[in-house]
Structure 1
């Protein structure tokens, strides 16, 4: 059984072996932490951006990236605290469109299937999940059409996201998952 722990600690300072980043299929990262990961993990961003541009990335999927280790330079000293893997959880088709429950469910199922071999054969035990893109996903479109209003409502953290994360990730064996929340969300 996986242990899910809610925390307010900065996600980029965690000692997780796998970092889960909620992204979109447009290749545009607006969240400040996601923008910072472009510079911190350029190999992951280049692979993610290429997949967005060639159309191979679908909403509701997970793009898992094994990071290449740096062998020389100043980054070697901090290389031990960085994740070995980055999972790009594709939860939306555009940064201004909110996450839909079916997209998040499909992406979590895909993530779960990709995590089993990593846990079993690579010894992955600590995972960090950035939750802010799941929480602060406000629509910026015209909501005058009643039929489209249903699809533009952001997911509620307590009613939608947290129960779904618990349901889909709880059965993973021998894993600690730190869910990094913004400070204004109560633990």
Structure 2
């Protein structure tokens, strides 16, 4: 059974072996952490963007990427703290559209199925998940309220998203999963 921990620590400083990044099918990254990850992990972004451009991604899926290791130069010294894998969780069809429960559930199920062989055969024990794209922020998203009303109601972090993450991710064996929250979200209690 996986241990889930909520944290405010920066995800890009994490020592996780695998990062889970919630993204969309449009290939547009608006979240500052995702845009930073785009430059830190260009091999992942190129694969993700190519899949978006070619129409190979569907909402509710997970694009798992094994990172290529640099063999020479200064980059090799920084690879010790970088993840070996990145899971691009496809939770929306556009960066301005919030995730829907069905999409998030399907994406987490797909991710879970792809993680099991990595846990068993590759020794993955630490995962970090970026939660900010999963949290509806009224200040950031006030311009899209009309669009959201037409498409879907955004998920609530406490009543919808966190229980879904807990249900899908705690079933994974022998893992520590850090869920990285923005500082605006209060950590009330640890997940059991």
- TM-score norm. by structure 1 comes to 0.94
Q: Indicate the residue corresponding to 2:22 in structure 1.
A: 22
Measure how far apart 1:73 and its partner are. 1.2
In 1, Cα distance between equivalents of 2:164 and 2:18:
20
Is 2:56 the partner of 1:56?
yes
**What runs of 5+ residues in structure 2 fail to find an aligned partner?**
188-192
Paired residue secondary structure (1:69)? coil
* Aligned-residue CA RMSD (Å): 1.4
Q: Indicate the residue corresponding to 1:143 in structure 2.
A: 146
Cα contact 1:69–1:79 (8 A) shared by 2: yes
Is 2:102 the partner of 1:102?
yes
- TM-score norm. by structure 2 comes to 0.92
Greater than 4 Å deviation, 4+ residue runs: none
Q: Indicate the residue corresponding to 1:66 in structure 2.
A: 66
Measure how far apart 1:150 and its partner are. 6.4
Q: Quickly say closer, same or farther: Cα 1:141–1:185, change in 2 above 3 A.
A: closer
Measure how far apart 1:151 and its partner are. 3.4
In 1, Cα distance between equivalents of 2:75 and 2:144:
41
Measure how far apart 1:75 and its partner are. 1.4
Measure how far apart 1:149 and its partner are. 2.0
In 1, Cα distance between equivalents of 2:162 and 2:42:
29
Deviations 1:39-70 (A, max 9, x none): 10000000000000000000000000000000
Task: Describe how 1:11-50 pairs up with structure 2 within 5 A.
Answer: 11-50=11-50
Comparing 69-78 with 7-16, greater Cα deviation is found at 69-78
Measure how far apart 1:139 and its partner are. 6.3
In 1, Cα distance between equivalents of 2:70 and 2:174:
28
